[in-house]
Each structure stands twice: as C-alpha cells, then as structure tokens.
Chain A
Amino acid sequence: MPQIPIIMPQLGESIAEAAIISFLVQPGDHVEGGQDLIEVETNKATMTVTAPCSGRIESFSAELNESYAVGDVLGKIEVTAEEAKRAGLDVPPPKIGDTETLTRQQSDGKSSRVEPTIRGLPVPANATGASYMSPRLKARMHELGLSAADLAGIAGSGAAGRVTIEDFEKFMANLEQQKLTKASSMRVAVADAMRRSWTRPLATVGLPVVLDALLAHRKACNPKPGPALYALRALAVALSENSAVAGRLVGANIVHPSSIDVGFAVEAEDGVLVPVIRASDKKTLKELVLRYDELVELARQRKLPADATGGSVATVTNFGTFGLIWATPIPLPEQTLVLGLGAGRKMPHWDEAKGQFVPVTEAYLTLSFDHRVLDGGAAGRLLQRIAALMKQPELL
C-alpha cells in the first residue's frame, strides 16, 4: 500500500521549527483526513499537526520533546491507492525549464546597489575594526548557533579590538565552567527580534495625558475596555489619518502599511506575545473589547491563532501594569512604532476656573520610533494626536 508522509506544516510566519509535545494517536490507529495527530509547540503557541489524508498510521519517526523543522517528515500514513491519487502523489514534478526562465528574468533587472570600493575594487564595508568577524569566527559562530550580539561581552585583543578566534574560544571555554540553563524557545525568539530591531536608530518621546475622561468612560462600559485598548484604538485612529509615519524604510523607499493592524504586548511565561487586531481603525472601541479580551486570554494560554500574530504595523504596550511610569520600549523589527502607556498617578493640575490645584489621574504616553522614518516633530505630533483622542474616549 502507498505511504504518505506526515510533514511538519508551516505553522505561521517566521516559524521555522516546532517541538513535539505529545502524540494524540498511536501507530496502527486508523485516522481521518484533518484529524489531529501530534501536538507541537512553537515559540509562539501550541498547535497540532493534522492527518494529510485518511489511512492507518504506519509509524512515527519523530520523537517526543525533539524539535523538527518545517517540512521535516514526522511519520507515515498507509493509505489506499485512491487516497494516494487524491493526495496528488501521481502528479509529475514541475518542469525545470519554467523556473530557469524566471531566474533569468529576475537577474536581468538592473541593480542600483552601492558598493563601497577601495581603488575601484569592491570590498566588504566592515573589513576592519571591532565589528570585523573573520571567516573562521563566522564559521564557528554559525556552528554553535551564535549571533553577533553574543560577542558583546568579549573584549577583543585583535586589531582595533576585533574578537580573534583565540578570544572567542577562551570565552566559550570560560562559559562552560559556569552554570548554564537552556533558554526557552520563547526567550530565544524575543532575543532574536530585539537584536534585529536594535540595528536601527531608535528614539523615544513622551507626553503626559490626563486619564479622568477615559476612566469615567471605562466605568460606564460593560464589558470594560482595558486602558491599553483605548491607547490601541487611539493609535489606530491617528494612523488612519496619516499612515506614512508607520511606514518602514527599505533602501530609498517608504513602505506604507496596507492595513492598520495593531498589536499589543501580553506578558506570557518567560517572554512577550503580541496578538494583533486586524484593521483596528475600521472598528469602534466597543466592537473591539471582546476580541481584545479573547486574544489576551489566548496569548496567556499560548494558543494564539496564526491569523492573530505577525504582520502588524505598530504595537501598544501597557508597561503601567508593572507600576512603571516611564519606559523606552523597542519596536518589533518589522515595525517603526511602539506606543507605551505608563501607570496612572494622582497629580495636581491647575484649574484656571476654580483658581486652585485639583487632583487628576495622569499617565505618560511614550512613543518609540525608528528615527530613519520619522523625526521628533512627527513623533511628537502623532503622540499629541493620540493623547487628544484618549481625552475624548467617546470618539473612539
């Protein structure tokens, strides 16, 4: 009987591998197409691998608690000939000629790349200096799965302070003498995102906003929107008026967002997840409350659906929940903006009409941005607009 492989599916954007948590069926079991077979865990969520077709589980080659890359064979299903035909196993592979034409067309496109030169010869831009990594160092780091940020703690003894292979091997040998624990895949994913984001010039501006109107509005609502949702909705409205500030700079082009999809940070075990509300400018605050609460819950359980992660244009983070009044959050690498909300505090405000100080609840709004895309002025105007919207919550 023909056998069809059970393959680790593409579980979401930017997910390269997943670990096997449990097998939901046993070899010999009969399964239906689409039935859940294996529970797997990615750095974002727990998901299941489903049967590609009906048949009998022949074997599982994957092992419990091991990680497998997308596309890896996890096991095999024994199927009838009709089922194999339905699964497309008798379809001939695509003609090679087609892809060849495609590549030729692509390579004909003119390149306007700027290459640094010395005496007219192209040279790597970072051929010398502390940031230089020798071919051997690169090869060793690749072998060990390390990135440039991991070298930050090594004082290089080479030319201009570059890290030599001897420095590196000494550093690694010293590490082995210290206590090492395995970082979770979530930790590694956050580290990777922050490292990539930090390659850009990031800046933060801040503005206090009086929250009394917002708090009163919230009290009257049922269900109650979270304070971060007010900020998210205000950001979405502000971006719908001018989306260029949320654009990404790639080469000499600003890439404009195609949809105002805004994410919000949710603390999960050993990391942060960012569920996304799609087209958040198209729905009112009231319409978003249930979806927001649902996503918070799913994120905490690490069961976010694929359509609610990734691809957002900005993030809102409510660092006020930790009692912090000010912070400089780092935007995700694919984003230009992150809006932060600090903890509300009672503050004295001068009331001109009463001629006295009155207590108000005030919190800081912060906006971290890629300074290549916008400047302090544009960031300040955006933050002013957001603050103004948050003072009129009935408009959200």
Chain B
Amino acid sequence: MSITYLEAIREAQAHALRDDPRVFIYGQDVGAFGGAFKATKNLAKEFPGRVFDAPISEDAMVGLAVGAAIEGMRPIVEMQFADFSTVGFNQVVNQAATLFWRTQVSCPITVRLPFGGTSGSGPFHSQCIEAIYAHYPGIVVLTPATVEDAYSMLLAAVATNDPVIFCEHKFLYYHLKAEKLPSEALPIGKARIAREGRDLTIVTYSAMVHEALAAATELATEGWEIEVVDLRSVKPLDTDTVVASVARTGRLLCVGEAWPWGGVTAEVIARVSAESYGLLDAPPQRLNAKDTPVPYHPNLWAAHRPTARSVAAAARKLLRF
C-alpha cells in the first residue's frame, strides 16, 4: 500500500474528526464534492453534519471559524487556493492572530492553503504566500515537505491553540508517495536534516526540499557533500538547527519558491548573519522565484521557479567562492 501527500492530508482530517468532536471542516465544495483537490473526499459521508460547504467568501469562512473557535470549536478551513486566502486576510491577521492577546481567548483554527506552482497554473493559482502570514505575530505557519509531515503536522496544527496557516504544496499532492502513515513525528518548530553533508548547507522548505535534494544528488557526483535542512515550519523558525548546520559547512544557500522580497529566505539569512557571522566562510546566498507574477506558460514557469538545476548552479557558484 502506498499513500500520497494529498491522501495523507485527507487521512489526517479524518483522524482529527474521529478523535475530537470539536473539529469540523468548512470550505467551498468540501462537502459532497469532496473539495477542489478531493482533500475531503467522503469525509462529509463519514462524519455527517461536520463537513460544511461555504459560500464563495473567504472573508466569511475565516470569520465564521474565528467565531466558532471562540465558542470552543476547532475548525479546519479549506481555501481552494492559497491565492484566494488574501480575500480572508483581514480575518486571519487582524482577528484570529490578535484574539488571544486582546481577550485571553485562544483561537485554535487551522486554515489549509493549497499553495505553490504547478505547470500551467498561472498567477492566481500558484502563489507562495507563507511569508506574508509569517510576518504577523500570533500565527503559526507550517510548510510540510513530506507525506509523513503533511499527515503529522496537520494533526499537530489542529491540536495547536493558536491560528495555524497550513501550506500544503499542490505540486506534491499526487507526486509524493509514502509506504505508510507515521506513528511519531518531530514537534512543530523543529527543522529536519533531510540530507547530511559538510560542504554547503541548503536551507529550504516544502516542494523546494525535493529540488534541493535532487541538486545535492547531482553535486555528490562532483564530489560535493551538500547538507539539506528542511525547515518544516517557517514560523516558528528553527534557527538553532540552521546555525548548527552552517557551523558544520560554513556556507549557506537558502532556497524558496516564494518571491525574494522580505521572504523566508531573507529572514534565515538575516538571522544567520546577525547571530553567527563568524561561522560564515562565504557570503550567504538565496535562490527564489523570479520577482514577477507567476507565468502561465509551462516553459516560462519552469524558468520562473528554482529547480534542481538552478539550485545546483547556485550551489556550485557558492562552493567555488
């Protein structure tokens, strides 16, 4: 038996609904239709009255979830695409994020954002917007890169008393498979060494972990040992694991599918530069998507986002410094 990244997300939601009567799912077409990507397939049938279709208003969806959370529920909100969550942005960052600070009432909502690019999806169905949520205090932002993490981190998100933005990468939905679901997991806020090495550290997250691992495999044939750090959660950010890796390698390359300006890669480099300047044997570098809207055309899209090839090229440049 094998299970995909998307199936793991469905299983985690089924698990959460089964375990905790306070959990319910709310989103456009999540009921009988089973969600835009079938992440809630059959859940309405299995858990009657706990999986609701929402109107086409992200603002209303998050607003309802915040109200339910105040009343003691633990809602999961599915956005059809992360890109559309900006319509509900006000409810997330102004209401949910500040609720506990204003009222001492927790806001345990999980907002699932199918995010990131797939070929031909274009500017409104491809964006990576984890950084704008991570900017706000009071929000946890998760970016699982593996089937196991998609499952265990979604369970952890539902169990968390703070609002969680759960960024699930659409490119990984069907591509990524695992043998079985995990029985244990690293805690939220702890990064993972996805590959050990001693020449250069690549810090990345979500789908880019797989590009980085492919680049590391390619560079290994040239004699380089690349360490790949999978952040898992971009907020909280596990600076300790990143710094420990840079201490081993002396070189840092951050890779993100999001735009460069003020992003997660910038934050990682700022932290390493400020907190462990003396560990750097080369200027820290980052590789991001091009600073333009995401293109439709598959060829343009492939050139827009970082790929194993461009990651390897950036790494080679840094290794030669």
Contact = CB atoms under 8 A, between A and B. Distances in A.
Interface of A: 134-139, 158-159, 162, 164-166
A162 to B, nearest CB: 8
Q: Name, among B277, B280, B281, the residue most crowded by chain A CB atoms within 10 Å (CB to CB).
A: B281
A137 B277 CA distance: 11
Contacts of A162: 321
B87 interface: no
Choose among A136, A139, A162, A166 the residue with the greatest number of B CB atoms under 10 Å from its CB. Answer: A136
A159 B282 CA distance: 10
A137 B282 CA distance: 10
A327 B320 CA distance: 43
Contact count band on B:
under 10
A136 B249 CA distance: 11
A136 B279 CA distance: 5
A159 B280 CA distance: 15
Interface of B: 250, 277-282, 320-321
Contacts of B277: 135, 139
B280 A135 contact: yes
B278 A139 contact: yes
Contacts, number: 32
Contacts of B278: 135-136, 138-139
B276 to A, nearest CB: 9
B279 A158 contact: no
A159 B281 contact: no
Contact of B320 (A136, A159, A165): A159
A134 B320 CA distance: 14
B321 to A, nearest CB: 5
Nearest to B321: A159
A165 B247 CA distance: 11
A134 B273 CA distance: 12
B117 to A, nearest CB: 32
Contacts of B282: 134, 164
Contacts of A137: 281
23 contacts: A134-B250, A134-B280, A135-B277, A135-B279, A135-B280, A135-B281, A136-B250, A136-B279, A136-B280, A136-B281, A137-B281, A138-B278, A139-B278, A139-B279, A159-B320, A159-B321, A162-B321, A164-B250, A164-B281, A164-B282, A164-B321, A165-B250, A166-B250
A134 B276 CA distance: 13
A138 B278 CA distance: 8
Contacts of A136: 250, 278-281
A158 B321 contact: yes
Contacts of A159: 320-321
Given A135-B277, A135-B278, A138-B278, 16 more contacts: A134-B280, A135-B280, A135-B281, A136-B250, A136-B278, A136-B279, A136-B280, A136-B281, A137-B281, A139-B277, A139-B279, A158-B321, A162-B321, A164-B250, A164-B282, A165-B250
A263 B64 CA distance: 88
Nearest to A157: B320
A56 B205 CA distance: 68
Contacts of B250: 134, 136, 164-166
B274 to A, nearest CB: 12
Contacts of B281: 134-137, 164-166
A58 B128 CA distance: 70
Chain B CB count within 10 A is highest, among A134, A158, A162, A164, for A134
Contacts of B279: 135-136, 139
B270 to A, nearest CB: 15
A282 B21 CA distance: 102
A159 B320 CA distance: 6
Top 3 A-B pairs, shortest CB-CB distance: A139-B278, A165-B281, A136-B281
A137 B278 CA distance: 8
B233 to A, nearest CB: 28
Nearest to A138: B278
A164 B280 CA distance: 10
Nearest to A167: B281
Nearest to B317: A159
B196 to A, nearest CB: 17
A158 B250 CA distance: 13
A121 to B, nearest CB: 14
A378 B320 CA distance: 48
A47 B240 CA distance: 49
Contacts of A166: 250, 281
A135 B278 CA distance: 5
Contacts of B320: 158-159
Nearest to A128: B321
Contacts of A135: 277-281
A158 B321 CA distance: 5
Nearest to B246: A136
A145 to B, nearest CB: 15
Contacts of A139: 277-279
A224 to B, nearest CB: 59
Contacts of A158: 320-321
